[in-house]
Amino acid sequence: MKEILAEMLGTVPQGFNNKNSVEYGHIALMYDQFVISAVGGTPTCPAAYAGLFDRGTKPSEWSGNAPSYENVRE
């Protein structure tokens, strides 16, 4: 199962512009910024994630290394 997940994370789904791992980062950031904040919680994503996963960002524009799927998942 882990091999299948790893393979899926490295693919770009039809109709999307980024790999699944990047899409997951977008979802995690949006959840953190909007859902957690809406219920009065404190967002927990590192500030650097906004520069990587905010709306309109692209991996081709990143400088440095992106966090791993495991890091984003935490």
pLDDT of residue 4: 61
Structure-token pair, residue 46: 């590192």
For 9-67, the DSSP string reads: HTS--TT-SS-HHHHHHHHHHHIIIIIIHHTTPPP-S-THHHHHHSTT--GGG--SPPP
Q: Give me the chain's average pLDDT, please.
A: 85
User: What ranges do the domains of the chain cover?
Assistant: 17-73
pLDDT of residue 41: 92
When comparing pLDDT for 47 and 69, which is higher?
Answer: 47
- Average pLDDT for 14-21: 85
Share of the chain above pLDDT 70, in %: 95
- Average pLDDT for 24-51: 91
Question: 0.85 cut: is pTM over it?
Answer: no
